[in-house]
Amino acid sequence: AQKITQTQPGMFVQEKEAVTLDCTYDTSDQSYGLFWYKQPSSGEMIFLIYQGSYDEQNATEGRYSLNFQKARKSANLVISASQLGDSAMYFCAMRDDAGGTSYGKLTFGQGTILTVHP
Amino acid sequence: DVKVTQSSRYLVKRTGEKVFLECVQDMDHENMFWYRQDPGLGLRLIYFSYDVKMKEKGDIPEGYSVSREKKERFSLILESASTNQTSMYLCASSPLDREASYEQYFGPGTRLTVT
């Protein structure tokens, strides 16, 4: 069974500083995908970034980058130059691609609340 | 612009009532999902569907059922609502292509309170 662990219930960062949100995962599959979503207080889930298990380069999307360490089974999200609007809940999630029968199901971590201070 | 809509943002129901939560997507996606979100537990998959009339149990299906009569619509049914089903319910959809990095697109959520 897949498992995603986010060990930081809450994180604080100063505006314009970088912050790393931790995510570790557990799977016996060779093929999988890792996602990060942002959930502001309004409740909608916003997709941020994706990393495939066979991707050799770390994924980047603007100020977001995913620090993918396959051997350690970690997929940490790095937000550079934090902004006040980054204050939100952040979820790490994994999709099991093995055998092509997962139908895109995601397993989510517990989430980390990020607060950006001015 | 892609869109997943849910019938209600807030819902208050009484214990024992039958509750319907509706989800509609306009992206012609094959896959649709229902999750519940609780503090400290993240999102947990209740049911999903990969085609019309097809459904599969997720991790926490007890007390719930689903219906998918049309491709764009996926309904979650609480047969007899209980207070432990008070939660935020999120619907999502995604295309069938399993090789792509397609994310799931989420609706705005329904916050259900069962009293």
Chain A residues whose CB is inside 8 A of the B92 CB are 45
Query: Residue A99: what are its φ and ψ, rounded to 5°?
Result: 75, 0
Query: Is a pLDDT exceeding 70 seen at residue A100?
Result: no
- Partners of B111 on chain A (C-beta within 8 Å) are 43
pLDDT, residue A30, reads 86
- Tell me the two tokens of residue B53: 């009339």
Q: Give residue B44's pLDDT.
A: 96
Task: Out of A15-29, A68-82, A102-116, pick the least confident.
Answer: A102-116
CA distance A84 to B53: 44
Give the C-alpha distances (Å, rounded to integers) separating B106 from A92, B58, B90, B109.
15, 17, 7, 8
- What is the nearest CA distance from B84 to chain A, expressed in angstroms? 19
pLDDT tens digits for A6-27?
999 999 999 999 999 999 999 9
Q: What is the pLDDT of residues B65-106, one digit of tens each?
A: 999 999 999 999 999 999 999 999 999 998 876 555 678 899
Distance of alpha carbon B66 from alpha carbon B15, whole angstroms = 19
- A109 interfaces chain B, CB cutoff of 8 Å: yes
Give pLDDT tens digits for A19-58: 999 999 999 888 889 999 999 999 999 999 999 999 889 9
Torsion (CA) B24, B46, A26, B98 in degrees, nearest 10? -40
pLDDT of residue B37: 97
Do the Cβ atoms of A104 and B45 come within 8 Å? no
pLDDT at A98: 58
CB contacts under 8 A, B 7-46 vs A, are 31, 33, 35, 40-45
Query: Token pair of B108, please?
Result: 């705005």
Q: Please classify residue A55 by burial: count the beta carbons closer than 10 Å to its beta carbon, then call 0-12 exposed, 13-18 middle and 19+ buried.
A: middle
